[in-house]
A and B are shown apart, each in its own frame.
Chain A
Amino acid sequence: MTTQTIKIVAVAIAMVVLALLVPRSGNFVVLLATRAMTFAILAMSLDILLGFTGLASLGQAAYFGMGAYLAAILVAKYHVGLGWDFWLVVVLGILCGAALAAFFGLFAMRATGTYFLMITLALGQCIWGLAYRWSSMTGGDNGLNLGARPDFGLNLSDPIVYFYLVFAFFGASLLLLYLLVRSPFGLTLMGIRERELRMQILGYNTWLHKYVAFIIAGAFGGLSGVLWAYTNGIVTPETVVLTTSVDALLMTVLGGAGTLIGGAIGAAIVFGLREYLSTLVPWWQYVLGAIYVMTILYLPTGLMGIPARVRQYLRSNREQAKKKLVSVPS
């Protein structure tokens, strides 16, 4: 078996375990897992940009917020999205996330590296400003309440039913994004990450590829936002604040950028640790911060990079042992 097959099997087993184990673990764990999976979709969407295309975005919360506010506004103001039209809200959330990314991408794609980071940060803050100031639509600082969750035969107010729904969305997103990164288009993104100039000389319109990737990331960001709104039942400017973008970025880096599943692992760890640590010590944020710093310093490839590092370590050990054997007789 290749390492790739092993990874796929491991992820599949983990998914089955997740689906079987979590619903038996009490309502709190169910809610926590649901939240982590919503954020995992956001982190994976960011990984398409950060890990595969080499674009560090600090504005992914904008599309997340777009989806979340869209759902909240439709439910709270227009009473759309509490029955079968839940699916309409999901589709609209994806489309609006993509549309916003298509608009923002026109500005952001002009820059690379740190400048790309700064532009996406600024654009993300525009959305936060809008959420905060446009009180008549967004409820300002108070945010919007969704009230109940949809009921269309499936009653999503039941935490376990809702968990399975989000699980399905998470699984589908993982599958679609995996298909994307293994496709010819996915390889072009990695080529752009490695050396954009060469890609242009090989005949690729690299701007277009990056732009499309940006829109796809926005679409999945929109989806995760819609799910977040239904999960929490309330959407406030906190949802779109810079911290959300940073969280998504850190989850991706913690799990391992450019691995897709790394974002999901990072989300699970951050949500788990946050809940667990905050019951233990009041200064839990420092612990989380220390973990982030240690990851970036000592494990830049993230948790998913550990097996490769171990292999490399073992190989270099073997080689050194060999050298010793050779050098002893002389």
Chain B
Amino acid sequence: MSIDQTDEAVPALELRSLAKSFGGLKATRDVTFRVMPGDRKAIIGPNGAGKTTLFNLITGIYPVTSGQIFLFGNDVTKWRSHQRTALGMARTFQVTSLFPKLTVLDNVLLAINGLQPSKFVMWRPLASYRSTYDKAHSLLERASFLDRKDVEVRNLSHGEQRQLEIVLGLASDPKILLLDEPAAGLSSGESTEMAHFLIKLPRDLAILLIEHDMDVVFDVCAEISVLHFGELLETGTPEQIKKSQRVQEIYLGTG
């Protein structure tokens, strides 16, 4: 742990002047941002604003061009993905990234075992790990997936796969969860369901959400930031953002 000068709580996630360029394209410019433990924050922005790029920087899929990333007070800027996850971070993907030819149960087991030392055990059947199975069962029960646990994931509907994405994100007991458009491709009824599911998550879990579906964002998050061409333009409560002239300009192009 790095030494924290102030008495304040350590932010779950902190970005300091983060920037990323792909050749000449500046996908992320000077983003400074904080998520405290238990915060519910959202980042919105039109297509191509650099939202997913930002997540890929935070989770270590892309190396950063400049700036720093702190997770729970640790400078993780140069860390690899799995090391960052071990600090208590989890994410979901905009494009569903499950294990299609494995069963629902196996998907969840993999997600639970990610941070367990038993992931290297090769002489004992996985089926003999009672506690892992119990945990998988309770996770699946909470998301009402238990009846479909032996179905191969590729045979699930799109909506079911989106839900399973989040179950996988929760399986490692994260302290901060990054959700990349959890409602992508869902019908309006399904996204209401998704919003309810997110609201019910434990209060001490910090959530950073990227979303196009404004209803989900307004329901789940207390604070919204607007990203445009890789830059954070504005931050405020849902009401402020709804009324903001600039946000309207960006989204509706009345500028």
Q: B210 contacts the other chain (Cβ, under 8 Å)?
A: no
A151 to B162, CA, bound (A): 63
Which residues 170-228 of A have a CB within 8 angstroms of B? 179-180, 182-188, 190-191, 194-195, 197-206, 212
User: Do A199 and B61 have beta carbons less than 8 Å apart?
Assistant: no
- Check if B81 sits within 8 Å of A201, measured CB to CB: yes
Does chain A have a CB within 8 A of B121? yes
**Separation of A201 and B114 alpha carbons in the complex (Å):** 9
Q: B113 contacts A183, CB within 8 Å?
A: no
A188 to B110, CA, bound (A): 7
Contact between chains at B99 and A184 (CB < 8 Å): no
CB distance from B179 to the nearest CB of A (A): 13
Given contacts A187-B109, A190-B102, A194-B101, contact A201 B123 (CB under 8 A): no
Q: Closest CB of chain A to B52's CB: distance in Å? A: 13
* B93-128, CB < 8 A from A: 93, 97-102, 106, 109-111, 113-116, 118-127
From the candidates A184, A185, A191, A201, name the one contacting B59 in the complex (CB within 8 A). Answer: A201
Count B interface residues, CB 8 Å.
39
B115: chain A residues at CB < 8 Å are 203
Identify which of residues 126-150 in chain B touch chain A, using a CB-to-CB cut-off of 8 Å.
126-127, 129
In the complex the two chains form, is B123's CB within 8 Å of A179's CB?
yes
Name A202's closest neighbour in chain B (CB-CB).
B114
Q: With A191-B102, A197-B97, A202-B110 given, is the CB distance from A183 to B85 under 8 Å?
A: no
Q: Is B168 part of the binding interface, using a Cβ–Cβ cutoff of 8 Å?
A: yes
Question: Max chain A CB contacts within 10 Å: which of B91, B93, B110, B124?
Answer: B110
Chain B residue with minimal CB distance to A176?
B123
Cα of A197 to Cα of B80 in the assembled complex, Å: 12
Q: Is B34 an interface residue (CB 8 A)?
A: no
For A179, give the chain B residue with the smallest CB separation: B123
B86 at the interface (CB under 8 A from A): yes
* Residues of B with C-beta under 8 A to A205: 80, 82
Q: Which residues of B contact A212 (CB under 8 A)?
A: 120
When C-beta atoms are compared, the residue in chain A nearest to B60 turns out to be: A200
* Total number of A residues with any Cβ neighbor in B under 8 Å: 24
Q: A185-B120, A202-B110 are in contact. Are A190 and B99 (CB under 8 A)?
A: yes
Q: Is B225 located at the chain interface by the 8 A CB criterion? A: no
Question: Within 8 Å CB of A191, what residues of B?
Answer: 99, 102, 110
- Do A182 and B110 have beta carbons less than 8 Å apart? no
Is B172 part of the binding interface, using a Cβ–Cβ cutoff of 8 Å?
Answer: yes
A198 touching B102 in the complex, CB below 8 Å, given contacts A179-B125, A186-B126: no
Q: Which residues of A contact B125 (CB under 8 A)?
A: 179, 182-183
Contacts of A201 in B (CB 8 A): 59, 61, 81-82, 85, 90-91, 97
- Report whether A183 and B122 are in contact in the complex, using a CB–CB cutoff of 8 Å: yes
- A203 contacts across to B, CB distance below 8 A: 82, 85-86, 114-115, 172
Q: Do A202 and B122 contact each other (CB < 8 Å), given the known contacts A194-B100, A195-B97, A195-B98?
A: no
- Please give, as numbers and ranges, the residues of chain A lying within 8 Å of B90 by CB-CB distance: 201-202
Provided the pairs A183-B126, A188-B119 are in contact, do residues A204 and B114 lie with their beta carbons within 8 angstroms? yes
Contact with A along B9-47 (1 / 0, CB 8 A): 000000000000000000000000000000000000000
**A203 to B118 Cα, complex, angstroms:** 13
The CA of A188 and the CA of B122, in the complex, are separated in Å by 10
Q: How far is the CA of A187 from the CA of B106 in the complex (A)?
A: 8
Residues of A within 8 A of B101 (CB): 190, 194
Q: Which of A190, A195, A197, A198 has the most C-beta atoms of chain B within 10 angstroms of its own C-beta?
A: A198
On whether the beta carbons of A195 and B99 are closer than 8 Å, the reply is yes
- Contacts known (A179-B125, A182-B126, A185-B120); A197 close to B61, Cβ less than 8 A: yes
A91 to B86, CA, bound (A): 37
Complex: A22 Cα to B123 Cα, angstroms? 31
Whether the pair A186, B122 counts as a contact (CB closer than 8 A) is: yes
B129 vs chain A, min Cβ distance (A): 7
In the complex, which residues of chain A have a beta carbon less than 8 angstroms from the beta carbon of B111? 202
| A197 vs B81: C-alpha distance when bound (angstroms) | 9
CB <8 Å contact, A183 and B124: yes
Q: List 18 A-B contacts (CB under 8 A).
A: A179-B123, A183-B121, A183-B126, A184-B116, A184-B121, A184-B122, A188-B113, A194-B98, A194-B101, A195-B97, A197-B61, A198-B99, A201-B81, A202-B111, A202-B172, A203-B82, A203-B85, A212-B120
10 shortest A-B CB distances, which residue pairs? A203-B114, A202-B114, A194-B99, A203-B85, A185-B122, A200-B81, A198-B97, A183-B122, A191-B110, A203-B115
Given A184-B129, A201-B82, 6 additional A-B pairs, CB 8 A: A179-B123, A184-B120, A194-B99, A195-B99, A203-B82, A203-B86
